[in-house]
Amino acid sequence: MADIVKMKGRGRPKRETAADKAPGQVQALTRALTIINTLADSGDGMILADIAQTVGLAPSTAHRLLTTMQQQRFVRFDPGSNLWQVGVQAFLVGNAFLRTRDVVQMARPFMRRLMEESGETVNLAIEDQGEAIYMSQVECRQLMRAITRPGGRVLMHCSGIGKAILATMADADVKRILQKHGLPKVTEKTLHRPADLKADLKVITKRGYSIDDEENAIGLRCVAAVIQDEHGDALAGISLSGPMARITDDRLPILGKMVQAVAEDITAELGGTSGAQA
C-alpha cells in the first residue's frame, strides 16, 4: 500500500506517488515531466482538476507547475475551454530528437542482445527506392551463418525484411514498388504471383512478423519485423537469418516472436508507435 503523507497546510492526506519516491531525481522536474506526458496522452487536453487527480498532486501544486511550463511554452491554456494542452516548445524539442535520432546506432545494442538470445545473425534494413538496403548486421558465432554486408540491396518481395515493410504499406505504395521492380522468381519458393504475395502480406500483418522460407536463397530462412516511427509507419526492419538446419519449422514461431519483441523495444526507444505491424 502506498505511504500516506500529509500535505503542508492542509488537512487532507495525499498519496505519495512513485515519482516522489524515486531516488536521485529532482521532484519538481519529475512532476512537471509527468504532467507533460499526461497531457500528451490525453489528446485534446485536460482541465486542472483532472490533471491534479491523474498525477497525484494537489491542484495548487499542479497549477504552479503548469503556469511555470506555460511561461516556457511547454504547455498552453485555452481559456475558452479551460483545457491545458501540450505547447509548441514541447513539439520543437520532440522535432530536435527526430532530426538527430540514428536508427542504426540506437538499434545496435538491441541487435546484439537478439543475436545472443537467438544464436542467429541479426540484420537491420530500410526501404530505399522500392528495395531493402541493409544498414547493419551483427553476425552470430556459428560456423555456418548468413552474411549480408551493409549497403547490400535485396528485392522487397523475396526478403523477410522487405515483406515485413511491404505489409505495413498502403496498397497503392505496394503496387508502385511492384510495378517498378516486378516479381522476379529468385528461387523456386519465391512468391512471384501478385495474389500469392498479397495473401502472404495479410498473414504477416495478422501474425506480427514475416518469414522468408528460401525465397531469396536456397537453404536460408529469415524472420523479420518492422521498427515503426511516431506515425506508426515502417522506419526500418530487423531480421534473424540462418540455415534451415538451425531455423527449423518448430523454431520459426519462437524466433518470430523474439524478433517482434525486439522490434517493439527499438520502436519505443526511437519514440515510435507500435500498432498492428508486420
Of 64, 96, 128, the last residue of a domain is: 96
Q: What is the pLDDT of residue 102?
A: 80
d(CA 243, CA 121): 10
Percent of the chain as helix, strand, coil, to the nearest 5: 45, 20, 35
Residues 126 and 258 in one domain: yes
Of 52, 70, 96, the last residue of a domain is: 96
Residues 186 and 255 in one domain: yes
Residues 124 and 248 in one domain: yes
Residues 80 and 119 in one domain: no
Residues 137 and 209 in one domain: yes
Range of the domain at 55: 4-96
59: CATH: 1.10.10.10
Q: What is the pLDDT of residue 145?
A: 64
pLDDT in tens, the chain (278 residues): 333 333 333 334 344 444 455 555 688 899 999 999 899 888 789 999 999 999 999 999 999 999 999 999 999 999 989 999 999 888 777 666 555 568 888 899 999 999 999 999 999 998 988 999 888 899 888 776 666 777 788 999 999 999 999 999 999 999 999 999 999 999 999 999 999 999 999 999 999 999 999 999 999 999 999 999 888 889 999 999 999 999 999 999 999 999 999 999 999 988 888 764 43
Q: Are 135 and 127 in contact (CB under 8 A)?
A: no
Residue 57, domain member (yes or no)? yes
Residues 107 and 184 in one domain: yes
Q: Please, where are the H alpha helices in the chain?
A: 18-21, 27-42, 48-55, 59-71, 88-100, 103-118, 160-166, 171-181, 194-207, 252-269
d(CA 241, CA 132): 15
Of 96, 115, 135, the last residue of a domain is: 96
| SS3 state of residue 111 | helix
Residue 176, domain member (yes or no)? yes
Task: Please give the tally of structural domains in the chain.
Answer: 2
Residues 125 and 263 in one domain: yes
255: CATH: 3.30.450.40
Residue 277, domain member (yes or no)? no
